[in-house]
Amino acid sequence: MRIRPVHVFLPAISLVTLLVSCGPPAYHQDGERYVFVAFNTALPYWQEAEAGLNDAAKQMGVKAELVGPAAFSADDELKAFQQAVAQKPSGIMLSAANPEIFKEPISAAIQQGIPVICVDADSPDSKRVMFVGTDNFRAGQESGKRMAEVLGGNGSVVIISVPSQFNISERMRGVTEALKKYPAVKVTKTIDDKGDPRVADDAIAALLHGKDKPDGIISLEASGGSGAAEALHVVSLEGKIPVVTFDKDPETLDWIQRGVITATVVQKPYVMSYYGLKFLDDLHHNAVHEFKDWRTAPAAPMPGFVDTGTAIVDKNNLAAFREALSAHPKPM
């Protein structure tokens, strides 16, 4: 009998090993389920986050679901969070519309052994394990700096915001810090649009028809930028009053192409949810062995804050940015 050399079998063995290593971790159980609770889920921003969530879940062999109100409502998001906790999932990601109202519910979930991490919008005084998202203070600085440069260091600015959200209040703090270097740029009014472009549209339209017409508009959330752009378009002020906004909704990118929105600070919701689920899964399985159990650990086994980064998109790099997005995964 001829015995084949051992090296003949090595490629096959290597291939099997590779295939096994690329599969989901062996510790995952059938029916393992994670929930991402958000707000304004009808926005393209959250559809992109859902794509990241689905991709990570498929890779790991677990179930994951994005839930929450289609329109901005902190109370409805709280109900969705409480419903998720009652279902006892393997873990919960939360984008907190209001950090205060989630403090106790997050603590209650943690006490039941359900790991909770904040993604996109934080509740920093709660017992959430970690935050994955944008460094919103720095992002606000970028927004304020861009506006000051466009105005040549002089002019009045209106800010569109949702003050109840911690992430947006951090952006506001960043804008304020950035404008300290430009004392001739003054914030004359702050508008709470409640995450609704129609509210932003009406508020900006009223200013444009009054005596206090702004020299520039900063929107610290996605809906306000498109609302402001629509108001400017109606009165043919495209390109005459600069608008700096947030995120990369298709409508926002279209307004940049048309010269109405000057620039947008782009976040990475796909990256947030993709890695957020992986961190949450590691918590559920106590995969990081620095401590015996994340529930009793003196410090969280995960990083306290993971900055997913931003980019600024304007008319100069819009085409390249859109081309880079052309292969972006879509939600299921």
State the alpha helices, DSSP H only, in the chain: 10-22, 44-60, 74-86, 103-111, 136-150, 166-179, 197-208, 222-234, 250-257, 269-284, 318-325
103 and 161 together in one domain: no
- What is the dihedral angle through the alpha carbons of 247, 253, 258, 262, rounded to the nearest 10 degrees? 30
CATH code: domain of residue 72? 3.40.50.2300
Domain count, the chain: 2
144 and 260 together in one domain: yes
Query: Residue 202 falls within a domain, yes or no?
Result: yes
Q: What's at 266, amino acid-wise?
A: V
Provide the residue range defining the domain that includes 261: 136-266
Q: DSSP states of 187-213 as a string? A: EEEEEE-TT-HHHHHHHHHHHHTSS--
146 and 233 together in one domain: yes
- Asked whether the beta carbons of 289 and 244 are under 8 A apart, the reply is no
178 and 126 together in one domain: no
Query: What pLDDT, on a 0 to 100 scale, did the predictor assign at position 66?
Result: 98
Please give the chain's pLDDT, 332 residues, in tens.
333 343 433 343 343 343 334 455 566 777 799 999 999 999 889 999 999 999 999 999 999 999 999 998 999 999 999 999 999 999 999 999 999 999 999 999 999 999 999 999 999 999 999 999 999 999 999 999 999 999 999 999 999 999 989 999 999 999 999 999 999 999 999 999 999 999 999 999 999 998 889 999 999 999 999 999 999 999 999 999 999 999 999 999 999 999 999 999 999 999 999 999 999 999 999 999 899 888 888 988 999 999 999 999 999 999 999 998 865 555 44
51 and 96 together in one domain: yes
Residues 6 or more apart whose Cβ sits within 8 Å of residue 37: 67, 68, 77, 80, 81, 84, 92, 93, 94, 95
- Any idea which residue has 């393992």 for tokens? 32
Query: What pLDDT, on a 0 to 100 scale, did the predictor assign at position 79?
Result: 98
Token pair of 213 as six digits:
């017409």
Separation CA 271–CA 52 (nearest Å): 6
209 and 287 together in one domain: no
Query: What pLDDT, on a 0 to 100 scale, did the predictor assign at position 27?
Result: 67
Query: Residue 214 falls within a domain, yes or no?
Result: yes
Query: Residue 51 falls within a domain, yes or no?
Result: yes
- Exposed/middle/buried for residue 76 (C-beta within 10 Å: 0-12, 13-18, 19+): middle
Query: Residue 157 falls within a domain, yes or no?
Result: yes
Query: What pLDDT, on a 0 to 100 scale, did the predictor assign at position 240?
Result: 96
Query: What pLDDT, on a 0 to 100 scale, did the predictor assign at position 246?
Result: 96
Query: What pLDDT, on a 0 to 100 scale, did the predictor assign at position 313?
Result: 98
63 and 161 together in one domain: no
Separation CA 201–CA 223 (nearest Å): 10
Query: What pLDDT, on a 0 to 100 scale, did the predictor assign at position 30?
Result: 77
Token pair of 57 as six digits:
């879940």
Separation CA 258–CA 213 (nearest Å): 22
Query: Residue 319 falls within a domain, yes or no?
Result: no
Query: Residue 25 falls within a domain, yes or no?
Result: no
